[in-house]
């Protein structure tokens, strides 16, 4: 039985643990017993991440901007947050945020990752195995879009899922998330 000491104090830095040579059943048990963490499982390795306060603030700001965009464009969306994206017994990933557009699907169209101390572009391999159309990474005060084309991800200046939005515009508003409240950011974005 795998156990983690549960303490969610929102530190200033993300905390990450990697466990190797573990089974799918270990992943399921651990993620069910400790739902306050974020998990991934791939090639018999579990990565467990305890997000920092800043991590959560950035991911929530990104979510507000995506949802505001969809409301302005009157675009149907289904928000799934950090819910499991998985192929049972093979791979599972809990993004920071995830969305389906127009119709609800088993695999989301867009996954969003905030990177402080774990994850990053190396997680594209996991998303590729899951066949997620688009992945956004916020890292080092910059937002990058990756589009799944021909089973490989290529970096893009614009989003496929949200075509009228640029990474420069989003990055500007995400940075404001450290100094402004969410309602002000949302009202300015409109």
Full pLDDT tens readout for the chain, 190 residues: 454 444 444 346 678 889 999 999 999 999 999 888 999 999 999 999 888 888 888 999 999 999 999 999 999 999 999 999 999 999 999 999 999 999 999 999 999 999 875 557 788 999 999 999 999 999 888 899 999 987 789 999 899 999 998 888 888 888 877 777 877 888 777 6
What pLDDT does 47 receive?
Answer: 93
What pLDDT does 5 receive?
Answer: 45
Q: Where are the domains of the chain?
A: 52-189
Strands 134-139 and 110-115: parallel
What pLDDT does 119 receive?
Answer: 58
What pLDDT does 117 receive?
Answer: 58
Whole-angstrom distance, CA of residue 170 vs CA of residue 183: 16
Contact 165, 158 (CB under 8 A): yes
What pLDDT does 190 receive?
Answer: 65
What pLDDT does 189 receive?
Answer: 76
DSSP β-bridge partners for residue 113: 137
Whole-angstrom distance, CA of residue 104 vs CA of residue 180: 32
What pLDDT does 172 receive?
Answer: 85
What top-level class would CATH report for the domain 52-189?
alpha beta
The region, left, alpha or beta by phi > 0 then psi within -120 to 50, assigned to residue 131 is left
Q: What is the value of pTM for the model shown?
A: 0.87
């Amino acid at each position: 039985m795998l156990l983690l000491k549960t303490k969610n104090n929102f530190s200033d830095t993300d905390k990450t643990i990697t466990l190797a040579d573990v089974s799918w059943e270990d992943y399921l048990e651990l993620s069910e017993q400790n739902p306050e963490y974020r998990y991934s499982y791939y090639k018999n390795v579990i990565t467990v991440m305890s997000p920092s306060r800043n991590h959560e603030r950035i991911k929530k700001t990104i979510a507000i901007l995506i949802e505001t965009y969809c409301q302005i464009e009157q675009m149907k969306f289904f928000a799934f947050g950090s819910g499991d994206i998985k192929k049972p017994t093979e791979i599972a990933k809990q993004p920071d945020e995830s969305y389906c557009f127009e119709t609800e699907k088993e695999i989301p169209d867009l996954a969003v990752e905030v990177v402080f101390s774990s994850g990053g572009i190396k997680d594209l391999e996991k998303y590729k195995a899951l066949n997620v159309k688009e992945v956004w990474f916020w890292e080092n005060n910059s937002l990058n879009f990756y589009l799944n084309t021909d089973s490989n991800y290529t970096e893009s200046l614009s989003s496929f899922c949200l075509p009228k939005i640029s990474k420069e515009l989003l990055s500007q508003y995400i940075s404001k998330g450290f100094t402004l409240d969410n309602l002000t950011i949302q009202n300015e974005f409109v």
